[in-house]
Chain A
Amino acid sequence: MSTAKKNKSTLHYQTLPKTETGIIGLDEITGGGLPKGRPSLICGEAGCGKTLMSLEFLVRGAIQFNEPGVFMAFEEKASELTMNVASMGFDLDKLQAEKKVKLDYVHIERSEIEETGEYNLEGLFIRLSHAIDSIKAKRVVLDTLENLFSGLSNQTILRAELRRMFQWLKDKGVTAIITGEKGDGDSLTRQGLEEYVSDCVILLDHRVINQISTRRLRIIKYRGSVHGTNEYPFLIDEEGISVLPITSLGLEKEVSSERISSGIPAMDAMLGGKGFFRGSSVLVSGTAGTGKTSIAAYFANETCKRKEKCIYFAFEESPKQIIRNMHSIDVDLQKHIDKGLLQFHASRPTLHGLEMHLVAMYKIIKKFKPRAVILDPITNLITVGSVSEVKAMLIRLIDFLQEEQISVMFTALTLNNIVNEQTDEGVSSLVDAWILVRDIEFNGERNRGMYIMKSRGMKHSNQVREFIITDKGLDLVEVYLGPDGVLTGSAREAQKLHEQTGDVLRDFAVSSKDRELIRKRKVLEAKISNLQTEFESAEEELNKIYQQEELIKQVTRTTREEITNRRRGEQLIKKGGKNE
């Protein structure tokens, strides 16, 4: 294979050429389809979908791959077949008219046939050959070849002829499907057809466990090719068969660091202020009536507000019921449905088995391509499977969703108030974020408390918040953490009131003290000014004395000078004054 890797043409030469079936999922499991130019066997019990699968192989071949096909029916008449598959949108009459498909009904009625002596099935060969040549068929289906055995008694001849038939088909180079009923015990087919068809054997199974049926498919052998070996559930619906290959158990998916809002601002705030990561899985668990569906509806609403598509899988309530109920918290989901952003898929879990649920969801998601998916609630799935089965299914669903970068929100009902890691169908370890809503019973009333148990890769609040549902919507309020512990609901309100009273009283006390202070200051200030006045008068007194003395001095001097001058005469007054 190492050389093959280097050289593509070598690879092409070495690997078995395959013919695509066009059946959703089957080509993935088989790694490209059925072996080209060889017969394959599809076996299984009555009613497991053999005829349908082989017919779909033909029709898809004719429509999608332009490979005409011949359907040789040993069981049902052409008209019956046409009618049976019309419900799946296959118009066999049209395809026959366009020479893309040819139906040939081989009627074998034992009562009409007498066997005398040697014969062979050359007639069948000629018919098949003629049919193949007339439309240049590349694909052939022989539906329940074993009916030959019930119509003819000479087993020796039949077996020899069947061997020849398969060899002949190979020589013709047509890709053939032979269907066979499952035999008793271990044998795959009643007549041991698997002995002749050795290239590819697919077993279909229709099991009923706990009154719920699941269709499964398994490739028993595929010579010369790798293939999925698991049992794969498959679904038959109005679009034919879809097989769900659940092989991705590797943890190599892309991750996004984009954050998306949960729709509740306060919850986003608890989740580091930005909400969940895109493509992450969120579990909302809680006891009955704690508002899980409301949270889910908010999330759906928010997704649609961002103009992103969302699918809501409801397992408990009908879409109309949810829409009506959500009106009470001011969430209008109907407008998103009208815009084609939101899809509801409601089904009772007991409608089909877990695997079928998974296949159905897978299909819907693939088709609608939403950015967010809601499963409400996963707890109900437990009615159709055991805890481990539900867990296995959810693992695969989460895997698939994460690969597609679709955010998912599960809701789960916890049956008691004890937080148990093993409840919630064990998905708590798988999800990226786990939000727990629980009843806090206190003081004769129940209130909802919410906390984030975990949220991978982001800072999140460790606080318990009270979760309130009002006409205006959901909100989170901080619970009161008082000396008596966590208070919620009316107890919280009472405590708040109490605190408010305290505040008022304190305010009052503070203000009277303030006034006292002002008064004291005023008194002091008055005293200060009084003292200042006293000081000023004392100062003035002192100044007065000083000035008096100064004045006296001045006056004395002037008087003396005057006396002196008067003694010396007028003329000398000036001179003497100057000389002195």
Chain B
Amino acid sequence: MSKQEKIVAYELRLYIAGKTAKSVTALANLKKYCEEHLKGQYKIEVIDLLVQPQLAEGDQIFAIPTLVRKVPEPIRKIIGDLSNEEKVLVGLNIRPA
């Protein structure tokens, strides 16, 4: 959050399973929040578990969609379609709770 870590301070991963309505909503929501609050300092990686099921274990994914904040640590997970902006921002520690 300091100015030095500006470049890709947030590494986010969104796990989905196919292009379901929830996944699409989640991705759209995520992009919107990031553009609003973390412009230029984030990276989003979308992983489709239907294509790469072996990746689910590594990040302990059980719910879909799941957003994982890999960086900065600690790892945080937000599950659901990310419809509640407030919760997502708190969850990602962008805004203090």
Contact partner of B56 (CB less than 8 A), chosen from A113, A114, A119, A126, is A126
Q: Mark B62-97, 1 if CB is under 8 A from A, else 0.
A: 111110000000111111111110011011000000
Q: A122-B17, A123-B56, A127-B53 are in contact. Are A116 and B87 (CB under 8 A)?
A: yes
Residues of B within 8 A of A118 (CB): 22, 80-81, 83
Residues of A within 8 A of B22 (CB): 117-120
Residues of A within 8 A of B63 (CB): 119-124, 152
- Which of A119, A120, A124, A126 lies at the interface centre, i.e. has the most chain B CB atoms within 10 A of its CB? A126
Q: Mark B42-61, 1 if CB is under 8 A from A, else 0.
A: 00000001100110110011
Q: Mark A203-236, 1 if CB is under 8 A from B, else 0.
A: 0000000000000000000000000000000000
Give the shortest distance, in Å, between A554 (CB) and chain B (any CB). Answer: 160
- Contact in complex: B88, A123 (CB < 8 Å): no
Tell yes or no: B15 within 8 A of A by CB: yes
- Contact in complex: A114, B61 (CB < 8 Å): no
Q: How large is the interface on B (under 10, 10 to 19, 20 to 34, 35 or more residues)?
A: 20 to 34
Contact partner of A126 (CB less than 8 A), chosen from B53, B60, B82, B90, is B53
- Contact in complex: A124, B62 (CB < 8 Å): yes
Chain A 119-163 residues near chain B, CB threshold 8 A: 119-124, 126-127, 129-130, 148, 152
- In the complex, what residue of chain B is closest to A127 when comparing beta carbons? B56
Residues of B within 8 A of A119 (CB): 22, 63-66, 79-81
The CA of A126 and the CA of B81, in the complex, are separated in Å by 18
- Contact in complex: B79, A113 (CB < 8 Å): yes
- Contact in complex: A114, B77 (CB < 8 Å): yes
The CA of A122 and the CA of B81, in the complex, are separated in Å by 13
Give the shortest distance, in Å, between B15 (CB) and chain A (any CB). Answer: 6
Contact partner of A123 (CB less than 8 A), chosen from B17, B80, B81, is B17
Tell yes or no: A107 within 8 A of B by CB: yes
- In the complex, what residue of chain B is closest to A120 when comparing beta carbons? B64
Tell yes or no: A112 within 8 A of B by CB: yes
Q: A116-B91, A126-B56 are in contact. Are A121 and B76 (CB under 8 A)?
A: no
The CA of A152 and the CA of B76, in the complex, are separated in Å by 15
The CA of A121 and the CA of B81, in the complex, are separated in Å by 13
Residues of B within 8 A of A117 (CB): 22, 25-26, 80-84
- In the complex, what residue of chain B is closest to A130 when comparing beta carbons? B53
By secondary structure, the A interface counts as: mixed
- Contact in complex: B66, A114 (CB < 8 Å): no
- Which of B26, B50, B61, B75 lies at the interface centre, i.e. has the most chain A CB atoms within 10 A of its CB? B61
Number of A-B contacts (CB under 8 A): 95
The CA of A5 and the CA of B64, in the complex, are separated in Å by 51
Residues of B within 8 A of A130 (CB): 53-54, 56
The CA of A114 and the CA of B15, in the complex, are separated in Å by 15
- In the complex, what residue of chain A is closest to B87 when comparing beta carbons? A116
- Contact in complex: B78, A116 (CB < 8 Å): yes
Contact partner of A112 (CB less than 8 A), chosen from B50, B61, B76, B90, is B76
Give the shortest distance, in Å, between B25 (CB) and chain A (any CB). Answer: 8
- Contact in complex: B76, A123 (CB < 8 Å): no
Give the shortest distance, in Å, between B19 (CB) and chain A (any CB). Answer: 13
- In the complex, what residue of chain B is closest to A114 when comparing beta carbons? B91
Tell yes or no: A106 within 8 A of B by CB: yes
The CA of A253 and the CA of B80, in the complex, are separated in Å by 64
Give the shortest distance, in Å, between A19 (CB) and chain B (any CB). Answer: 26
Contact partner of B82 (CB less than 8 A), chosen from A108, A116, A123, is A116
Q: A119-B80, A124-B63, A152-B63 are in contact. Are A114 and B53 (CB under 8 A)?
A: no
Chain B 5-28 residues near chain A, CB threshold 8 A: 15, 17, 22, 25-26
Q: A114-B76, A114-B77, A127-B57 are in contact. Are A121 and B62 (CB under 8 A)?
A: yes
- Contact in complex: B17, A114 (CB < 8 Å): no
The CA of A122 and the CA of B25, in the complex, are separated in Å by 16
- Contact in complex: B81, A116 (CB < 8 Å): yes
The CA of A116 and the CA of B90, in the complex, are separated in Å by 11
Residues of B within 8 A of A115 (CB): 78-80, 87
7 A-B pairs with CB atoms under 8 Å apart are A106-B60, A114-B88, A115-B80, A115-B87, A120-B64, A124-B63, A130-B53
* Beyond A112-B76, A113-B78, 15 extra complex contacts between A and B, CB < 8 Å: A108-B60, A112-B74, A112-B75, A113-B77, A113-B79, A115-B87, A116-B87, A123-B15, A123-B17, A123-B66, A124-B63, A126-B17, A126-B49, A127-B56, A130-B56
Kindly list the 4 A-B residue pairs having the minimum CB-CB distance in the complex, ordered from nearest. A114-B91, A117-B83, A130-B53, A122-B64
